Structure 1
Amino acid sequence: MTNPKKRGAQPPVEPSSGRKVPGSDLLAAAQAAVGAAQSAAGQAIDAAQVTAGFAFDAAIRLPPASAQLAAQLPDLVENLTVAVDRLNTTIDRLDRTLALADPLFATYDRLLPRLEAVIALGEDVFGALAKVPGVGLLGRITGMSSDPEPPPEPPKKSRRRKV
């Protein structure tokens, strides 16, 4: 029998040894889904052809609901083929997008440890300055204190019973 059209089908993309593309697990899963959908479409077409071969013989004995479902089967297979083609297109777009974003992710990987080190150094400097006598008072006077003053508590209400 025949298999569905494989327009735009490409062999699986293997990442190069030097580059790591984020989302490769997602891409592999999507490609596996495309393969499964194409296999299911091929099996559905085969089943439709077998069903068409026996349709004339079974037309007399076939209930009307089953005949209606069998009549809709070619349209359903065509819709499945269109969906597989769209999925292939989407996977190709995702692959191109991730390839374009790969240098950005590599830059983030190099930049983030440096930013973390700068933040840790700043925290160390603030900790050392907090230990210097008079810095807390100076901060409160200038209004540049790192600890905001808590708002005053509202006065407590007395709970006397009125008689």
Structure 2
Amino acid sequence: MTTPKRAGRKGSTPKVPVGRVPSPSDILAAAQSAVETAQSAAVQALDAAQLTAGHAFDAAVRLPPASAQLAAQLPDLLENLSIAVDRLNSTIDRLDRTLALADPALAAYDRLLPRLEAMIGLGEDVFATLAKLPGVSLLGRRLTGRTPEPPPAPEPPKRGRRR
């Protein structure tokens, strides 16, 4: 049985499976969801501030000084929240433009990576085949002038202390 959505409730943000790189549309959807949530919080805070202001005049005599101080700071807090939402909107726009510019490069990388992986695999196969030929290691030493590295000395076995 499912629970019906309330009228003012938005759908949840799309979930990205673990191990998958989010696409530009996933990032944009998450950012837009964050903006909607911030705007919703700002509207709720503004409504609460208006309601508080209406009651503040009636209850000004009964308010403790700390509550009056908090009520006085509320307009500045709402202004700061509004500025933060505007900055978030501009950041989302900038991110959208950047991803649009980077999209052709990312597509080229996607086409190029399988080819590079195939080339690396081919190179490893060639080296493995050459290593099987007799005398190739000697030829490699003569061409490079390097001597083979001696294998590391085996570590002596650790003995436990006897009592």
TM-score class normalised by the smaller sequence: 0.7 to 0.9
Give 1:102's aligned amino acid.
Answer: D
Aligned to 2:149: 149
Give distance in 2, aligned partners of 1:144 and 1:97.
50
Partner of 1:129: 130
1:48 aligns with 2:77: no
Please report the RMSD computed on the Cα atoms of aligned residues, expressed in angstroms: 2.1
Tell whether 2:63 aligns with 1:57. no
Letter in 2 for 1:81: S
The answer as to 2:74 corresponding to 1:73 is yes
Deviation of 1:109 after TM superposition, in Å, equals: 0.6
Return the offset for 1:151: 8.1
1:102-131 CA distance string (max 9 Å, x none):
000100010011111111111111111111
Encode CA deviations 1:20-41: one digit per residue, 9 max, x unaligned.
Answer: x933222211111110110111
Task: Measure, in 1, the Cα distance between the counterparts of 2:65 and 2:149.
Answer: 80
Q: Counterpart in 2 of 1:31?
A: 32
> Which letter maps to 2:120?
I
Write the letter of the residue equivalent to 1:66.
S
Report the alpha carbon displacement of residue 141 of structure 1 after superposing the two structures with TM: 2.4
Query: 1:144, CA displacement in angstroms?
Result: 6.2
Cα distance in structure 1, aligned partners of 2:66 and 2:77: 16
**How many corresponding residue pairs?**
132
Counterpart residue number, 2:120 = 119
Letter in structure 2 aligned against 1:44: A
Gaps of 5+ in 2: 1-21, 154-163
**Runs of 4+ deviating beyond 6 Å:** none
Structure 2 length normalisation: TM-score? 0.75
CA contact (8 A) 1:22 1:98 kept: no
- Give the alignment of 1:80-119 within 5 angstroms: 80-119=81-120
TM-score by length of 1: 0.75
For structure 1, the residue ranges without an aligned partner over 5 or more in a row are 1-20, 154-163
Write out per-residue CA displacement over residues 74-128 of structure 1, whole angstroms, 9 at most, x where no aligned residue. Answer: 1100100000000000000001100100000100010011111111111111111
* Higher relative contact order (Cα pairs below 8 Å, separated by 6+ residues): 1
Identity %: 76
